[in-house]
Amino acid sequence: MAKNRKQEVKIKKMLLLVWTVFIMALISLGVIAYNKRDTVKEDLDMSFSTRFSYQTNANPDINALIITYLSAMSSSDQATLQSCVVDPTQYDNMSTVQSQSKVITAYKNINCYTVEGMDENSTVVYAIANISIVNVESTPLDMLGPYYVVKKDGHYLIDNTMLSQEVSDYIGKLNRTSDIQDLYKMVKDDEDKKAEQDPAFKEFLNRLNN
Please give the tally of structural domains in the chain. 2
Same domain, 13 and 93: no
| CATH code: domain of residue 113 | 3.10.450.50
Domain for residue 200, yes or no?
Answer: yes
Can you state the angle between helices 199-209 and 178-197, rounded to 10 degrees?
120
Same domain, 130 and 100: yes
For residue 101, the tally of other CB atoms under 10 A from its CB is: 18
Cβ atoms of residues 189 and 196 within 8 Å: no
Same domain, 74 and 14: no
Same domain, 33 and 102: no
Report pLDDT for 160. 97
Dist CA 143 CA 33 (whole Å): 42
Same domain, 64 and 140: yes
Instruction: Taking residues 146-152, report their average pLDDT.
Output: 97
Same domain, 110 and 12: no
Same domain, 90 and 176: yes
Distance of CA 51 to the CA centre of its chain: 11
Owning domain of residue 112: 55-209
Same domain, 8 and 62: no
Is the confidence at residue 52, as pLDDT, over 80?
Answer: no
Is the confidence at residue 61, as pLDDT, over 60?
Answer: yes
Domain for residue 170, yes or no?
Answer: yes
Same domain, 79 and 153: yes
Write out pLDDT tens, residues 102-122: 999 999 999 999 999 999 999
Same domain, 90 and 115: yes
Domain for residue 50, yes or no?
Answer: no
Give start and end residues of each alpha helix (H) in 46-177: 60-75, 78-84, 95-101, 165-175
Question: CB-based contacts of 74: which residues, under 8 Å, 6+ apart?
Answer: 101, 104, 105, 106, 107
Instruction: Taking residues 171-182, report their average pLDDT.
Output: 95
**Proportion of the chain above pLDDT 90, given as a percent:** 73
Is the confidence at residue 14, as pLDDT, over 60?
Answer: no
Same domain, 111 and 171: yes
Report pLDDT for 50. 37
DSSP-assigned letters across all residues of 105-131:
EEEEEEEEEEEE-SSTTEEEEEEEEEE
- 85 pLDDT tier (thresholds 50, 70, 90): very high
Dist CA 35 CA 41 (whole Å): 10
**Can you give the length of the chain in residues?**
210
The mean of the pLDDT values for the chain is 82
Report pLDDT for 53. 80
Is the confidence at residue 163, as pLDDT, over 70?
Answer: yes
Cα torsion for 169, 170, 172, 173, to the nearest 10°? 120
